[in-house]
Structure 1
Amino acid sequence: MNKQDLAIRVAEATGVTRLEALNTIDTMLDIITESLARGEEVRLVGFGNFVAGTRKASTGRNPRTGEPMDLAESVMPKFRVGRNLKEACNGRGDA
């Protein structure tokens, strides 16, 4: 399922237009992105948590040349699955 498919499903389930659903999805994703960029955690109880974790600086290798290269510390967004989502995916919850 892509974002357009999701917007259609949201529109059908809520009675709004596909465009309104798409705008809502885009707004939600923008808010999650902005929150993570500020270092905030976004908790959707039962679904999961979006967190911004720090990846420490390390030494890697250039895949083409094999030369060692320094990789700077960076922030990596992560998603921790919630119990309800995990159970639904494993056939034990409401889906």
Structure 2
Amino acid sequence: MNIGELAKGVAVVTGTNEASAKAAITAVFDQIAGAAAKGEEVSIPGFGKFAVKDRPERQGRNPATGDAITIAASKKVAFTPAKGLKDKL
């Protein structure tokens, strides 16, 4: 499913047009991304939780040469599904 298909489904359920639904979906994802950029957790009851996790510096290998390299520390966004979502699967 892509954003166009998601917007169509939301538009049908909410009785709005696709452009409004797409704008609303984009706004929701922008808010989640903004919260993640600040390091905040976003919890959506019945769906799941988005949280920023730190990945520590670690050792790796260059696949082309086999040399050991240091992979820099980074942050990632992790999603943990809620029980309601798990039950639907």
TM-score (norm 1): 0.90
Which position in structure 2 is the counterpart of 1:81? 81
Count of residues in correspondence between the two structures: 89
For residues 77 and 6 of structure 1, the distance between their equivalents in structure 2, rounded to whole angstroms, comes to 22
- 2:57 pairs with 1:57: yes
* CA RMSD of superposed structures (Å): 0.8
Point out 4+ residue stretches in structure 1 off by more than 6 angstroms: none
1:8-32 per-position Cα deviation (integer Å, ceiling 9, x unaligned): 0000100111011001111111110
TM-score calculated relative to the size of structure 2? 0.96
Q: Give the fraction of aligned pairs with identical amino acids, expressed as a percent.
A: 37
Return the offset for 1:58: 0.4
What one-letter code is carried by the residue in structure 2 that aligns with 1:64? A
Residue 72 in structure 1 maps to residue 72 in structure 2:
yes
For residues 35 and 24 of structure 2, what CA distance do their matches in structure 1 show? Answer: 16
Deviations 1:20-64 (A, max 9, x none): 100111111111001011000000012100000000100111222
State the secondary structure of the residue aligned to 1:30: helix
CA distance in 2, matches of 1:31, 1:64: 40
